[in-house]
Amino acid sequence: MKYLFTLANLLLASLLMAQTPKGKVIEGQSISSKITGYNVNYSIYLPPCYDTSNRSYPVLYLLHGYSDNETAWVQFGEVNHTADKAIEAGQIPPMIIIMPDAKVTWYVNNHDGSNRYEDMFIEEFIPRVEKMYRIRSQKEFRAVSGLSMGGHGSLVYAIKHPDLFGACAAFSAAVYTNEEMKQFLSDDNKKWFQPIYGHLTSDGKLPQHWNNNNPINILNEKPLKDIKKVRFYIDCGDDDFLYKGNAALHVLMRDKKIKHEYRIREGAHNWTYWRTNIIHGLQFVGDVFHRK
């Protein structure tokens, strides 16, 4: 009898899973860019009701980490499955998720202007994809999120372009203090960062391009009126090596009275952490998308 009861429960669970509407993931998409001079690939998630409705949807730009590409959030993060379940359960509104490839650009223009990824993303990518799909183009229906290098990119975009984004959810963001970057540009890590920010000056100071693109420094220099209109969510594991920059950003935001949510959860800098916790980012931006 116990066996039959267990089997019935398994069958019921399987039936419920089979009935969960599935969104559509389209990979292998690209736009041609005059600014970068190369095609920019992207993947897109369309919610389950997209093909059966005529309405437009809010959009989340979901950014990958260092050395990954536009397929990572689906292949390793399974964000499409998380979104399907959350939409079905009413935890988030139906939304479009766009995942662009940024190579190892850190989502900014590099110091010599040879790869202007940020300009491309703001001036070409967003306007073009939002015309290709049924997307609500108002700021309150556009959010940006990402992990590691992508978490850094999401913060840079939301802070530098607060007129474009209603929300930012940064996971394990690659945010560094000035002291950390000075060390990085002096040791073996400089191969990661010199192509983006340039060299230390002759007297050992950080390059200006770093100051212009580091979220902590930007918040110390940029007027805060518009930035405070963006809702921020910062999430980092307690065993993540990027804890120092995330904590420094949280403290600075508190000091400057920038409203945000700061979460430290059990976990490290890995896909287990991001795959498990992306639901919190989806719920956060979904709450912004909801009409009050």
Tens digit of each residue's pLDDT (9 = 90 or more) over 235-261: 999 999 999 999 999 999 999 999 999
Triad 151, 157, 162: Cα angle to 5°? 130
Q: What is the DSSP string of 53-96?
A: ----B-EEEEE--TT--TTHHHHTT-HHHHHHHHHHTTSS---E
Provide Rg for the chain, Cα atoms.
Answer: 20
Q: What is the pLDDT of residues 116-147, one digit of tens each?
A: 999 999 999 999 999 999 999 999 999 999 99
The mean pLDDT of 92-105, rounded to a whole number, is 98
In this prediction, residue 2 has a pLDDT band, given cuts at 50, 70 and 90, of very low
Domain ranges of the chain: 23-176+214-289
Q: Output the pLDDT for position 98.
A: 98
Find out if CATH 3.40.50.1820 is the number for domain 23-176+214-289: yes
Strand, helix or coil for residue 109 = strand
The proportion of the chain whose per-residue pLDDT surpasses 90, expressed as a percent, equals 90
pLDDT band at 292 (very low <50, low <70, confident <90, very high): confident
pLDDT at residue 3, as a whole number: 46
Q: Among residues 252, 212, 217, which one has the least CA distance to residue 234?
A: 252
Whole-number pLDDT of residue 121: 98
- CA distance to 85, 153, 161, 255, per residue, from 148 (Å): 25, 9, 20, 24
Residue 50 carries which DSSP code?
A: G
Averaged pLDDT for residues 20-31:
95
Residue 111 has pLDDT above 70, yes or no: yes
pLDDT of residue 5 exceeding 80: no
- For residues 37 and 291, which has the higher predicted lDDT (pLDDT)? 37
pLDDT at residue number 20: 76
Phi, psi dihedral angles at 236 (to 5 degrees): -145, 140
Query: Considering only CA atoms, which of 225, 206, 66 is closest in space to residue 150?
Result: 66
Whether 150 shows a pLDDT value over 80: the answer reads yes
Query: For position 189, what pLDDT does the model report?
Result: 87
pTM metric for this prediction: 0.93
133: three-class secondary structure by DSSP: coil
